[in-house]
């Protein structure tokens, strides 16, 4: 089956979050399941550097000339939307120098959606996709444009919701500039509390919807997690499913094959970060520092870890108040190390040297860091939500008795229950036979794309309108 993946970011060319990892991994994973996937990305400078092939002119696109330039993304065909007036700018792909959304983001990602619809309706270089796989709101207008081009009855559409909190909302005065049908501005259409929403447009008009874990798919149907779109999703629950993300096991491979190999990496990490060498679990955090990620809960629960013999190493950035609070904790506590920023090489050394990885998110569609933790035998301590609930087997009495536990879960999601989980973590560390068994379980747990790729392939083939 021929599928065009439409995303705003994709590893290794451009990344701000997990969406990029999924967009980068799926084409290779699906190739083994009979799906030929090609990828359309905005022509940011890093993307254009990988595009040096055939050129396909699109004409004017939201204020300037645009074209598709072909390239390669490993074994995958890359289509770069070359529109310098929209994408040729330094800095974040979403944010301007002032830290706020680029004011023309509606046009920038409407252009991506329009280009996707054009490729769906017209094909490119003799290649005609049977399905457009849309990632999040940035590709959300595609089904509306596809319908306007008269191709919705022959080209299928699937949207993957990576995080419903990001919805592509803009003022209603953008209806004309974005070339949207005015009749669609209704509560049953793309209208969202008097404004317009690209994600809502996708949820209403695509042929099918999936998100990145079964539990998150269920959570999205509730007001607590649906972020104002739970009613839309309940209306389409028959077209909604959850498929777990995976990780690229060829890229994420620990530098040891068995739990006993971790020790030297833990000692090296402590030395690098200036932490005392001691007999206790070294917990790590690699995360954006936000309340969504529950890092304020960790600050409140931190004494439970430190007072029972544990240590913390944190790498991340985000909310300035949280950054400052963690810096203060590191200054006051010799068993806490904090690095503000992001460092890919250090994150891998932390994954190899950490004993446990903490993911106390208030909500988490899937999460990838707990999957990396499993792969490395770095036991996850996670909130019971979304993909965290679907991927970690709790060290409950039943889980331990069955010899199946791979980590710790806590619920309800608050500082007290997190503190209890951290105390339990240090208690489990004290029984090294149990700890080593959990590490072996974690490292053997399937975290790759095999099962999920088959699920995606089956879903995509079921939507094929050319049959």
- Give the residue numbers of the binding site for ADP-alpha-D-glucose: 15
Mapped onto helix, strand or coil, the DSSP state of residue 230 is helix
Distance CA 392, CA 381 (A): 9
Residues 6+ apart with CB under 8 A from 219: 225, 226, 363, 385, 386
DSSP for 181-214? -GGG-STTTTEETTEEEHHHHHHHHSSEEEES-H
* Per-position b or e across 320-337, b if 16+ CB within 10 A of its CB: eebbebbeebbeeeebbb
Which residue has tokens 């701000």? 16
Tokens of 248: 């690229």
Mapped onto helix, strand or coil, the DSSP state of residue 411 is coil
400 burial (CB, 10 Å; 0-12 / 13-18 / 19+) is: middle
Cβ atoms of 464 and 130 within 8 Å: the answer is yes
**DSSP for residue 102:** P
Backbone angles phi, psi at 347, to 5 degrees: -60, -35
Cross-sheet strand order for the sheet of 408-410: 336-340, 311-318, 282-289, 356-359, 379-383, 408-410
Distance CA 149, CA 145 (A): 6
Helix axes 432-444, 415-429, angle to 10 degrees: 110
């Amino acid at each position: 089956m021929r599928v065009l993946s439409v995303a705003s970011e994709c590893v290794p060319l451009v990344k701000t979050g997990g969406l990029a990892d999924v967009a980068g991994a799926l084409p290779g994973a699906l190739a083994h399941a009979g799906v030929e996937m090609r990828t359309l990305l905005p022509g940011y400078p890093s993307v254009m550097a990988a595009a040096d092939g055939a050129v396909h002119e699109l004409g004017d696109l939201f204020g300037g000339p645009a074209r598709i330039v072909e390239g390669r993304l490993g074994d995958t065909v890359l289509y770069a939307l070359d529109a310098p007036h929209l994408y040729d700018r330094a800095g974040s792909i979403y944010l301007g120098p002032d830290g706020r959304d680029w004011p023309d983001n509606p046009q920038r990602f409407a252009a991506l959606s329009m280009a996707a619809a054009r490729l769906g309706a017209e094909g490119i270089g003799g290649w005609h996709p049977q399905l457009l796989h849309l990632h999040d709101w940035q590709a959300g207008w595609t089904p509306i444009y596809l319908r306007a081009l008269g191709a919705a009855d022959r080209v299928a559409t699937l949207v993957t919701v990576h995080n419903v909190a990001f919805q592509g909302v803009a003022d209603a005065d953008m209806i004309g500039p974005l070339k949207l049908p005015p009749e669609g501005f209704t509560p049953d259409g793309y209208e969202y509390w008097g404004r317009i929403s690209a994600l809502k447009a996708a949820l209403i008009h695509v042929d099918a919807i999936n998100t990145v874990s079964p539990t998150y798919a269920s959570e999205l149907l509730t007001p607590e997690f649906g972020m104002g779109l739970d009613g839309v999703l309940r209306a389409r629950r028959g077209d909604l499913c959850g498929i777990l993300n995976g990780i690229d096991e060829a890229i994420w491979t620990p530098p040891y094959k068995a739990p006993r190999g971790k020790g030297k990496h833990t000692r090296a990490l402590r030395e690098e970060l200036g932490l005392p060498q001691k007999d206790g679990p070294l917990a790590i955090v690699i995360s954006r520092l936000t309340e969504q990620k529950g890092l304020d809960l960790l600050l409140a629960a931190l004494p439970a870890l430190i007072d029972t013999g544990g240590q913390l190493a944190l790498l991340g950035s985000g909310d300035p108040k949280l950054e400052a609070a963690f810096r203060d904790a590191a200054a006051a506590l010799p068993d806490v190390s904090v690095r503000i920023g992001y460092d890919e090489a250090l994150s891998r050394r932390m994954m190899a040297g950490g004993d446990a990885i903490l993911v106390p998110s208030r909500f988490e569609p899937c999460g990838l860091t707990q999957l990396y933790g499993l792969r490395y035998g770095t036991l996850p301590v996670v909130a019971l939500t979304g993909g965290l609930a679907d991927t970690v087997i709790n060290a409950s009495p039943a889980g331990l008795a069955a010899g199946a536990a791979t980590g710790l879960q806590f619920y309800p999601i608050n500082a007290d229950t997190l503190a209890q989980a951290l105390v339990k973590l240090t208690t489990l560390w004290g029984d090294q036979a149990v700890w080593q068994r959990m590490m072996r379980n974690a490292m053997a747990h399937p975290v790759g794309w095999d099962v999920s790729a088959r699920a995606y392939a089956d879903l995509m083939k079921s939507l094929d309108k050319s049959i």
